[in-house]
Structures are given as structure tokens and as C-alpha cells.
Amino acid sequence: MRVAAVHAAPVYMDKEATTQKVIDLIRQAGERGIRLLVFPETFIPGYPYFIECYPRSASRCDCAQSVVTQGKEISAIQSACRETGVAISLGVLGTHGRRIPLFNSQINVDGNGELLGVHRKLQPTYVERAVWACGSGATLKTYKTGDGYNLGGLCCWENTMHLARQALVEQNEHIHAAAWPALSVLAGFEAVADIQIEALMKSHALMCQTFVVCASSYVDEGCLAWMDENLGSQSLLKKGGGWSAVVHPFCEVLAGPHTSETECMLEAEIELRELLRPLWRVMQSRGFQE
């Protein structure tokens, strides 16, 4: 089965244009025979880097660009999945439809266009709490897809939460969709961000014996221009960043890692039968209850 991680930048703070970009990428994936496509964290409408400064006008814009789970943007994306047979895990800024509260969400859509479910980030990280609400453990699920594998996922620093990871292991996660923003372009984080992400992704792959598809966005000129317009000149954020890859349960990197400001799909052929190998019996992340 062919899977891919999207390493791309959204059309920053423009949900309609970014929705169209998502649809275009899904169609490209379909043409390449990709069966699962994983997108970065809050790809629609873009990660709110401005929260470090908490400008109210920028926060209002972020709210206005949020996505309703049953809204027109997701409906159009479901149609693209149905047309191409591509399943996706898509990071969005989600809402119930009342605009608040806002949730960092992963929308999971099967290759037949069915909405499998929505995961909401359990605990927003650091200043993310200024703009996002806490998700519920009720959304900590794996989803059985039409291709027969169980799809789970976590957003950014949720991947450090041992019990959240264990909850997915207990549900026999086969493929882990890890969604990230660009972190290595934040002032003070340049030297360690990519190293930490790589460590977390390989740790989850090995300890949970699952394939990991890690998708990060990067910061482009459009994002920086938006920041300048709404915040004025700033030095907290620069162009580039992101760490995207596909990781095997033995920690081998099957595609990537990719860290530049060049847009791409990191594609890899995976064999789900490899999850039945003897190492699974050695690791026994779920204990011996089975």
C-alpha cells in the first residue's frame, strides 16, 4: 500500500484557497496511486504562529477562518476523496459551527468519502491555550478504513503523552498520522525542534509497532507577509522549517526526512503484513491480555 506525508504550506489564513489546495493534492495523490495522505497540523487555515504575541485582531481572523466539520469545505474534500479513492488525515482548525470554542482537529476521511471521525487535540501546548479549547478523550480513537488498516493520529506535542499513545496501541493502531507545524523556525527552538520530532516519531513507531506518517507544514512568504501585515515587523518567525517523513516500525525512515521550504509528497510503499512479525510478540506494548 502506498502512503504519503504532505510537506507543504497552506494559503495562510485563507480557508477557501487552502481547501482547494487540499483537493488538488488529493487528486495528485490519486494519480500516483497513493491510498493514504497525511496533512500537517491545522493545515486549514494555517498554524497560528502569532499567538506568541496574542494580538486580538489576528485571533479574530483565525476564528473567522475556522472549519465546520459538516461544512462546505469538508464536504468538498470528501468528494475529492471519493473521486480518487484516497483516504486522508487532515489537520484543521475546527469548530462546532458557533465559531467558539475552537479545536486543533484531525479530520479522518476514508477513500470512499466517508467521514470516519474527528480527533481533537487533548491539551493545547503552551500559548496554544490562548486560542484553542481542550479536546476530549472520546476522540482518541483508531478508525477502520476500507483498505483494512486501523488509522490513528495525534497532533504535535500530543505525541509526548504516553497514555494518549497507549490508548491508540490498545485499539491496534496500524498507521499513525502525526501532524506538526514548522517548529524549527521559531526563535529559540531552531537547534532542537527537528531532533525532538524525529525522536518522538521513531519512538512511537518502535514502541507501538506501527507505521508512522509524519506531516509538517513549513512557513512560506505568504505566512510572513500576513504576519507583517497584522503584527508589524517581527523576528520570532522565519521562513522554512518542518520535519516530514514515513517511518517503519523498526525505525527505518522509508521516505524523507524533508525539512526545507520545498513542497512535496513523501511517498513510501508499506507492507502491513510486516506488523505480524515476531518483534510484535517481543514488544507486547499492550501486555499479554490477548
Active site residues: 41
Please state, in angstroms and rounded to a whole number, the distance separating the CA atoms of residues 3 and 211. 10
Beta-ladder partners of 106: 91, 119
Strand duo 87-95 + 102-109: pairing: antiparallel
Residue 100, amino acid:
I
Contacting residues for 233 by C-beta, under 8 A, at least 6 apart: none
Number of continuous H segments (helices) and E segments (strands) in the chain:
7, 13
- HSE-CB at 257 with a 13 A cutoff on CA atoms is 20
Residues 16 and 194: beta-carbon distance below 8 Å: no
State phi, psi for 104 to the nearest 5 degrees: -75, 110
